[in-house]
Amino acid sequence: MSQKFDVIVIGAGPGGYVAAIRAAQLGLKTACVEKWVDGKGKAVLGGTCLNVGCIPSKALLDSTHKYHMAHEEFKIHGITANDVAMDVPTMIKRKDQIVKNLTGGIAGLFKANGVTLFEGAGKVLAGKKVEVSKNDGSTEVVDAENIIIAAGSVPVNIPPAPLTEGLILDNEGALNISETPKRLGVIGAGVIGLEMGSVWARLGSDVIVLEAMEEFMGFADKDVAKEGQKLLKKQGLDIRLGARVTGTDISGQEVTVKYTDGKGDQEVVVDKLIVAVGRRPYTEGLLAGDSGVELDERGFISVDNQCRTNVPGVFAIGDVVRGPMLAHKASEEGIMVADIIHGHKAQMNYDCIPGIIYTHPEMAWVGKTEQQLKAEGVKYKVGKFPFAASGRAMASQDTDGFVKLIADEETDRILGCHMVGGVASELIAQAVIAMEFGSSAEDLQLTVFAHPTVSEAVHEAALAVDGHAIHVANRKKR
């Protein structure tokens, strides 16, 4: 007789493991299926985020930022640091240890909350059954009252640049480069491309980023994109827009990248090439033909606003469904679905999902851009405050960037916030909370912010919405 669970989660990434833990906390008999294993055949939890995404990339970004500061910025503080050098293998080892600690922590949380782990690949069958093809070669069919699909996503590969071990790399390979390449090519100026490009530029690589789109960061507010492009160029990233890669040739330990742009056919020779053109939902082998679960035209699992599929009792969350491919979006969807299964009234505000690029300075945003509001015909007002006018930012020698707040012209309700700054990833949460509670710009204006803090820039941007900023000259209102 097969085992039966209240909830079976397929995938132990940031959506899946959070959903499983939440469901177990609510008293539901819960299992989670995960097929990822390490080099020793041991189950690895945490998905892309913890293993080859969010966490390891931030570890490398932090290490290289500290190196850059010691090498380039300490002198202005009166600190002399001679013969500063980066030991890349030690940096990679530190990154790996952080990953090991966190993934092991999830295993501990599963045990503490009573989540049953199945090591293998899960497939949704008809009648709310899950077939588990275990890593030891055996197969088991498990019954569930509810199924949560959280299988995640995989990198998009492109025919002109097939992955080649040690030379042409995806995001996972980019995290394990063992020595600083003299010349690094990156295909794609999205989050992964810019972050990985920044890591190696700080260590001395000549970095060329090839982006097929004519516009830099077209998904972001234009002010953020313009400032980001300027600062990244200053840091040494050679970002070439409208550059469509047509092919690659490998000769020895060099890669010749062929591309076309407005000037015609071009080519560049690099020592390593990172392909970072996006990700696609991972659904291979996930759904049996009789499961009944529908996919949309782009290959995502079709769901409603509460992540229900067309099959009752089957939910899908995270990268396999519509919306931004972000770990925090997946996690909150996991919590929402577990609550719904338990009978709670739960929902998620998809208008308040922040986006962040962890370069330095960081770029972060939430809500609508000016361009979106113009296209929608919404009347709005804007307040902007530069970190160059922030006392705390000056004291920290971190004055690049700004905070930009957008509010409805009639209701004063905050519609969006966009920023570039040293700690933008932390500051954006203030705007997210304000928007989640339907705050107006005036609400932030009347809020007491501690002094001196970089968060005062959010306060000043809110004041600037109505031309009342204190520490910068106010722009004339339209």
Q: Please report, for residues 8, 60, 87, 158, 306, the alpha-carbon distance to residue 416 in angstroms, rounded to integers and kept in the order given.
A: 37, 30, 41, 34, 23
H/E stretch holding 65: helix 54-68
Mean pLDDT calculated for residue range 44-71 = 97
Residues 10, 14, 19, 21, CA torsion sign: positive
- Do both 24 and 84 map to the same domain? yes
Q: Please report, for residues 10, 42, 152, 190, 357, the alpha-carbon distance to residue 118 in angstroms, rounded to integers and kept in the order given.
A: 9, 12, 17, 35, 34
Mean pLDDT calculated for residue range 301-306 = 98
3-state class (DSSP) for residue 366: strand
Residues 14, 15, 21, 26, CA torsion sign: positive
Pairing label, strands 30-34, 4-10 = parallel
Domain end (from 307, 328, 348) = 348
Structure tokens belonging to residue 433: 């909370």
Domain end (from 228, 244, 277) = 277
* Residue 277 pLDDT greater than 80, yes or no: yes
User: pLDDT digits over 167-191, tens only?
Assistant: 999 999 999 999 999 999 999 999 9
The pLDDT, as a whole number, for residue 477 is 59
Quote the domain boundaries for residue 181. Answer: 168-277
What whole-number distance in Å separates Cα of residue 415 and Cα of residue 406?
Answer: 6
- Do both 80 and 137 map to the same domain? yes
- Do both 138 and 285 map to the same domain? yes
For residue 115, which of 206, 219, 43 has the smallest C-alpha distance?
Answer: 43
The residues, any chain, with a CB within 8 Å of residue 60's CB and separated by 6 or more, are: 91, 95, 175, 199
List, by residue number, the catalytic residues.
451
- Do both 124 and 267 map to the same domain? no
- Do both 139 and 287 map to the same domain? yes
- Do both 39 and 108 map to the same domain? yes
- Do both 358 and 344 map to the same domain? no
- Do both 326 and 356 map to the same domain? no
Residue 162 lies in a domain: no
- Do both 151 and 215 map to the same domain? no
- Band the pLDDT of 476: cuts 50, 70, 90: low
- Do both 248 and 180 map to the same domain? yes
User: pLDDT digits over 212-268, tens only?
Assistant: 999 999 999 999 999 999 999 999 999 999 999 999 999 999 999 999 999 999 999
- Do both 297 and 251 map to the same domain? no
Q: Are 9 and 103 in contact (CB under 8 A)?
A: no
Q: What is the tally of structural domains in the chain?
A: 3
* Residue 478 pLDDT greater than 60, yes or no: no
What whole-number distance in Å separates Cα of residue 331 and Cα of residue 356?
Answer: 16
Residue 19 lies in a domain: yes
Which CATH number do you get for residue 100?
Answer: 3.50.50.60
- Do both 41 and 133 map to the same domain? yes
- Band the pLDDT of 40: cuts 50, 70, 90: confident
What whole-number distance in Å separates Cα of residue 193 and Cα of residue 107?
Answer: 31
